[in-house]
Amino acid sequence: MAPQSHGTRTPLRATLSATFVLILAGLLFTANARLSGGEENRQPENFAELVRQEVDRGDDLLTEVEGLRSAVDTLSEGLATEVPALDPALDVSSGIEAGMTAVTGAGLRVQLEDAPTNRPQPPEIVPDDLVVHQQDLEGVINALWAGGAEAMTLQGERVTALTAFRCVGNVLSLHGRVYSPPYVVEAVGDPQKLQAALDASEPLSIYREYVAAVGLGYSVETRDTIDAPAYTGVLTLEHASVPAGTDVYR
C-alpha cells in the first residue's frame, strides 16, 4: 500500500485548554469593561460627596469661630465695664511726682562751685575744703523738697525718688554720666518758700560759712520759667509695693 499522509494531530487536552483560556479571557474583558464603566459612574458621585462633606466641615468651623469671637467680645466688654478707670487727676499728679511727666513753672536755680585754685587760703584749710561735696548737693536738694518743690533737676536731669548720685573728688556721677562743677539744681515751686527752706537748712548754713571763708561758689536765682524734662530712665521698685486693699482708682 502506498503510504497515506496524515496531518499533525493536536492533543485533545491542549485544544480544550486553549478553548478554556479564550473563554476565560473573554469573561475577564467583559467584567473589566463593566467595572470600568461602574467606576466612571461612581467617581463623580464620590467627588461630589467629598466636596459636600468639606463644605459642611467648613461651615461647622465658621460657626465655632463666630461663637469664640462672640465670647471674646463679651469678655472684653465685661473687662471694660468692671475694671475701674484711673482718676485723670491722680494719673497726672503721679506722673509729675514720679518724674515721668515734663513740667514747667516758676522756681529757683541754685548753683554750687568749687573754690578758685588761685585764691590764698588760711593755713588750716586743706584741699578737701575747696571742693563741693555730695553732702552739699544733698543739702540743697533736701531743702528744696522740704520747701515744697514740685519738680527738680540736677545738671538738667530730672530728680526722682529713686535718683542716686555720687561725688568722687570734684566729679559728680548721675544716671550713668559724670559731670564737673559748677553743679546746678533747679526746682519748680513757690520761690519764696523754696528760698526760706534754703535759708533754714543747717547743712547749707555750714556750706555758706565755707563760701565766706574759702570762696566756694553759691548763688540762688529766682526764675519765672524752669523747664523740668521727664525722666527717661526706668523706674524699678525692688522693695516697695502697693498694700493690698489700697484703692488707687476712682
In what helix (H) or strand (E) does residue 10 lie, and over which residues does it extend? Answer: none
Report pTM.
Answer: 0.59
Which of 142, 135, 174, 133 is CA-nearest to residue 155? 174
- The CA distance from 26 to 94, in Å, is 98
Q: Please provide the distance, in angstroms rounded to a whole number, between the alpha carbons at the two ends of the chain.
A: 141
Q: What is the pLDDT of residues 138-162, one digit of tens each?
A: 999 999 999 999 999 999 999 887 7
Length of the chain equals 250
- Residue 162 is predicted with a pLDDT of 74
In DSSP notation, 140-178 reads HHHHHHHTT-SEEEETTEEP-TT--EEEETTEEEETTEE
Least confident of 77-81, 127-131, 155-159, 178-182: 77-81
For residues 114-123, average pLDDT = 91
